[in-house]
């Protein structure tokens, strides 16, 4: 075990990790080439870089837990903000406290490594951490209220930096003024986050210092239609008035990263991860329930869908202030009312959709012995239904472009072997090249519906990473690395074994065989 190290502010940070939540590799490449992102351009020229992969089918809800546990959602348990409670037809809000595995920085802390963990998404405070942790100060779609370790650190953070300018990203904005305000608040959020990170980075002697910019996530969801002239919601006049909020936020993040790199200095090894991309919000998940009902000839869910849709539309029209105050009441009401309407309907069907964010549809088979009122027996009957659903879904056509609506339908066990009753049974990969509003197959007939969600942007499956430091080779890493590989990579560089992870260290691939523990 390494010896405890005295907090010496003159000692450089050993590893600096910077996350860009939902940072998009194509935008980074484009704007770096155009000279708008000089820090990223320098990283491409002077550091190692490569493409990252995320959990197949679950890369929206599982990316950060997979990052900080080094394991897949089959092990850590999180794939969506709302999940089906095993043994029921009830859904519950999945919170960071529900993640089954601990973050890798707990292992580092127990090995006397001094760590600073600032706003890594989907986390909760690690008690007795050897260092500091800031949770949900300004994360996207925060799960819990802002808190810290040590607990009294929160007072200092609020006194020095205040609250993040954006409390809730997902709001019903329609005017140029509203989108300008959002853009300005996010740019300010980047600047305040940089100040906060620099304040704690200046304390020195960190073995691992981590911070994540969430503003790229929010602006991508809310402003893709302003950025993308091909998007059906694009308004050229609004774009001329507002500019490109996504570009403005990326430029601010690029400048902030430049400041952090300069402060860390050349002795620090740096990793930067743009997690899981962003593009237009084109998918068919909002149609999946209707599709499955027509395939099964079920007529019970229409009223439920209309009822839930009316509730959501009404809720989205409430201003931010009252929504914040009414949030707990809303959560209790929708959980109670949703159960009252949906449980009998779900229990009567052979299968039904369950939450998995949007980019992949998720289907649960109403299985005998697992669901309370299961209808499909395990074994041949289950396999036959899965194959039938696969075939039926693959016949669907997007009438607006003539292309198949669905690219693939696969069993979750194809990528996550073994029985895991918490995961969906089938995952549906949509063809997301164009908007989806009119679909057809001989069995379903024509289904027509427009996506009414507030988000015009949604995620892409791959990410991008950079590494820079005294022993890091320059150039592109030809092999992709998994988001699960970062935990064992960072731990190995600090000389700390990280057992029970699926990820593998890629330190040797980027030329880094440096073990910081040898310097202690």
Contacts of 485 (CB under 8 A, 6+ apart): 70, 503, 504, 505, 506
Q: Are 277 and 463 in contact (CB under 8 A)?
A: yes
| Phi then psi dihedrals of residue 419, to 5 deg | -80, 125
Distance between CA atoms of residues 209 and 263, nearest Å: 13
Q: What is the CA radius of gyration of the chain?
A: 23
Residues 398-420 have a mean pLDDT of: 94
Rounded to 10 degrees, what is the CA torsion of 301, 303, 306, 310?
-130
More confident position, 12 or 26: 26
23-32, 298-307, 497-506, range with the lowest pLDDT? 298-307
In this structure, the strands spanning 208-213 and 115-118 are parallel
Domain-wise residue ranges, the chain? 15-280+457-519, 285-448
Q: Are 411 and 419 in contact (CB under 8 A)?
A: no
Read off the pLDDT of residues 201-252 as tens digits, 9 standing for 90 and up: 999 889 999 999 999 999 999 999 999 999 999 999 999 999 999 999 999 9
Annotate 382-400 with b (16+ C-beta within 10 A) or e (fewer): beebbeebbebbeebbbbe
User: What is 15-280+457-519's CATH number?
Assistant: 3.40.720.10
Task: Show the CA angle centred on residue 236, arms to residues 230 and 242, nearest 5°.
Answer: 115
pLDDT score, position 520: 33
Flag whether pLDDT at 35 surpasses 70: yes
Read off the pLDDT of residues 326-336 as tens digits, 9 standing for 90 and up: 766 665 555 44
Determine if the peptide bond prior to 434 is cis (ω within 30°): no
pLDDT score, position 3: 34
Flag whether pLDDT at 360 surpasses 60: yes
**Residue 105: which of 22, 17, 193 has the closest Cα?**
17
Q: Are 367 and 424 in contact (CB under 8 A)?
A: no
Residues 257-280 have a mean pLDDT of: 96
Rounded to 10 degrees, what is the CA torsion of 344, 345, 346, 348?
80
Flag whether pLDDT at 452 surpasses 90: no
Residues 75-81 have a mean pLDDT of: 96
Flag whether pLDDT at 4 surpasses 50: no
Flag whether pLDDT at 362 surpasses 70: yes
Largest CA distance in the chain: 71
pLDDT score, position 175: 95
More confident position, 279 or 347: 279
Structure tokens at 139: 């994360």
Contacts 24+ apart (CB under 8 A), 295-299: 295/389, 295/392, 295/443, 295/444, 296/349, 296/350, 296/351, 298/345, 298/348, 298/349
24-33, 304-313, 340-349, 428-437, range with the lowest pLDDT? 304-313
Flag whether pLDDT at 32 surpasses 50: yes
* Integer angstrom CA distances of residue 215 from 11, 191, 396: 30, 10, 36
Name the average pLDDT for the chain.
90
Provide the 10 A C-beta neighbour count for residue 193.
24
Distance between CA atoms of residues 395 and 471, nearest Å: 52
CA atoms within 13 A on the CB side of 95: 9
Rounded to 10 degrees, what is the CA torsion of 434, 436, 439, 444?
130
**Residue 31: which of 333, 252, 318 has the closest Cα?**
252
Flag whether pLDDT at 324 surpasses 90: no
pLDDT score, position 323: 65
Distance between CA atoms of residues 10 and 4, nearest Å: 16
Sign of the CA dihedral with 314 first, then 320, 321, and 327 last? positive
pLDDT score, position 230: 96
**Residue 105: which of 468, 515, 494 has the closest Cα?**
494
Distance between CA atoms of residues 428 and 359, nearest Å: 9
């Amino acid at each position: 075990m390494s010896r405890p190290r005295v907090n010496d502010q003159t000692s450089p940070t050993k590893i600096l990790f910077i996350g860009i939540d939902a940072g998009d590799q194509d935008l980074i490449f484009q704007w770096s080439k155009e000279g708008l992102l000089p820090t990223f351009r320098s990283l491409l020229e002077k550091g190692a870089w490569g493409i990252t992969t995320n959990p197949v089918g679950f890369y929206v809800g599982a990316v950060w837990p997979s990052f900080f546990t080094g394991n897949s959602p089959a092990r850590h348990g999180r794939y969506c903000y709302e999940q089906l409670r095993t043994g029921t037809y009830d859904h519950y809000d999945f919170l960071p406290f529900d993640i089954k595995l601990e973050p890798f920085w707990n292992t580092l802390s127990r090995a006397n490594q001094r760590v600073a963990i600032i706003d890594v998404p989907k986390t909760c405070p690690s008690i007795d951490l050897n260092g500091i942790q800031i949770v949900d100060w300004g994360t996207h779609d925060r799960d819990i209220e802002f808190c810290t370790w040590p607990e009294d650190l929160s007072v200092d953070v609020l006194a020095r930096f205040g609250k993040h300018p954006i409390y809730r990203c997902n709001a019903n904005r329609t005017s140029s003024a509203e989108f300008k305000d959002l853009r300005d608040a996010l740019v300010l959020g980047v600047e305040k986050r940089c100040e906060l990170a620099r304040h704690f980075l200046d304390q020195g002697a960190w073995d691992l210092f981590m911070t994540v910019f969430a503003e790229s996530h929010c602006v991508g969801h809310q402003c893709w239609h302003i950025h993308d002239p091909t998007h059906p919601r694009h308004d050229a006049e609004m774009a001329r008035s507002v500019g490109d909020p996504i570009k403005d936020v990326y430029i601010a993040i690029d400048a902030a990263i430049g400041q952090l790199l300069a402060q860390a200095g050349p002795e620090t090894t740096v990793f930067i991860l743009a997690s899981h991309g962003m593009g237009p919000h084109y998918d068919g998940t909002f149609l999946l329930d209707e599709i499955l009902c027509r395939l099964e000839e079920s007529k019970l869910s229409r009223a439920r869908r209309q009822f839930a849709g009316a509730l959501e539309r009404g809720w989205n029209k409430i201003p931010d202030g009252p929504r914040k105050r009414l949030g707990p009441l809303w959560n209790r009401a929708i959980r109670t009312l949703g159960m009252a309407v949906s449980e009998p309907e779900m229990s009567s069907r052979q299968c039904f959709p369950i939450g998995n964010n949007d980019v992949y549809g998720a289907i649960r088979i109403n299985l005998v012995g697992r669901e309370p009122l299961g209808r499909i027996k395990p074994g041949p009957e289950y396999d036959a239904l899965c194959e039938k659903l696969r075939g039926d879904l693959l016949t669907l056509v997007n009438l607006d472009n003539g292309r198949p609506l669905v690219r693939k339908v696969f069993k979750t066990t194809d990528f996550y072997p073994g029985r895991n009753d918490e995961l969906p049974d089938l995952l549906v990969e949509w063809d997301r090249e164009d908007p989806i509003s009119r679909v057809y197959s001989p069995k379903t007939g024509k289904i027509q519906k427009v996506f009414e969600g507030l988000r015009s942007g949604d995620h892409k499956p791959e990410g991008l990473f950079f590494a820079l430091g005294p022993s890091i080779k320059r150039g592109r890493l030809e092999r992709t690395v998994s988001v699960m590989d970062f935990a064992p990579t960072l731990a190995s560089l600090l000389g700390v074994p990280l057992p029970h992870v699926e990820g593998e260290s890629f330190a040797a691939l980027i030329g880094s065989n440096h073990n910081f523990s040898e310097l202690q």
